[in-house]
Amino acid sequence: MSSDDIRLYVTIDKRLFRDALLYQLLLEDTVDLVGESATGVDTLNQLPTAAPNVLIIEEALTDNDGLTISEVALSQQPALRILLLVDKPVSPARLAIYLDAGIKAVIAKSQPVQELIQALGYIRQGQVYVDAASYTTASENPDHALHAFKSLSAREQEVARLMADRVAVKAIAERLGVSYKTVHSYKDRIFVKMGFERVPDLMLFMKRFRNRIDL
């Protein structure tokens, strides 16, 4: 862990949602979890000892308003970077209030998890992140990844399939009769073309693609 790593605190009411998000975030080796809560009041009680540098908090908590809790947290720890999770995309007028209150990033629950991870990357450096596209227009075309997959070479598609089935790189190399290094360069190309950063992204895509789940 180095100094610019994320010391994360997560405040999400529903346990299942919190766990699912944490499984994703802990795949990032720059993220360390220093605390979690289901309520705003518990968050304020824990913050001084947990000393996070990033707080992900739901707006619609059951005990107190998540935005008000964020304001109180910032008055106590002004350097804390807060990502607010909102139930649905918000109007620009509302978003302006969030940013004026010192919130660094706003993510709607209708957005893909990759966008939340991207936002974390920006706020980690103290930058503000709001994605106009997610608030003003319909979310990104879900066919994008599908087109990207179809444009992969036959070999790349095969490697993608094997990787999604969690076949080890060494085994893929043996099966295709190529070197270790070649498989890695296939992997890099696939990730760049598909816009993925991690194997789980690819696994989820392949499942959805094969089962023709319409997003």
- Measured from the CB of residue 186, what is the shortest distance to other proteins in angstroms? 26
Judge whether 142 and 109 are in contact, CB under 8 Å.
Answer: no
The CB density around residue 157, as the number of other CB atoms within 10 Å, is 15
Give the count of residues interacting with other proteins (CB under 8 A).
50
Residue 60 is a binding residue for other proteins (CB under 8 A): yes
User: In 3D, which of 49, 65, 53 has the Cα closest to residue 9?
Assistant: 53
Q: What is the residue-wise DSSP string for 12-35?
A: -S-HHHHHHHHHHHTTSTTEEEEE
The residue from 110, 136, 153, 179 that contacts other proteins (CB under 8 A) is 136
Residue 13 is a binding residue for other proteins (CB under 8 A): no
Residue 15 is a binding residue for other proteins (CB under 8 A): no
Angle made by CA atoms 141, 60, 32, in degrees to the nearest 5? 75
The residue from 128, 199, 203, 204 that contacts other proteins (CB under 8 A) is 128
Residue 141 is a binding residue for other proteins (CB under 8 A): no
The residue from 13, 28, 30, 39 that contacts other proteins (CB under 8 A) is 39
Tokens of 161: 């399939």
The residue from 28, 33, 34, 122 that contacts other proteins (CB under 8 A) is 122
The mark string for 61-80 relative to other proteins (x by CB under 8 A, - otherwise) is: xxxxx-xxx-xx--x--xxx
User: In 3D, which of 25, 38, 133, 142 has the Cα closest to residue 89?
Assistant: 133
The alpha carbon of residue 146 and the mean position of all alpha carbons in its chain are separated, in whole angstroms, by 20
- Measured from the CB of residue 102, what is the shortest distance to other proteins in angstroms? 8
The residue from 135, 186, 196, 205 that contacts other proteins (CB under 8 A) is 135
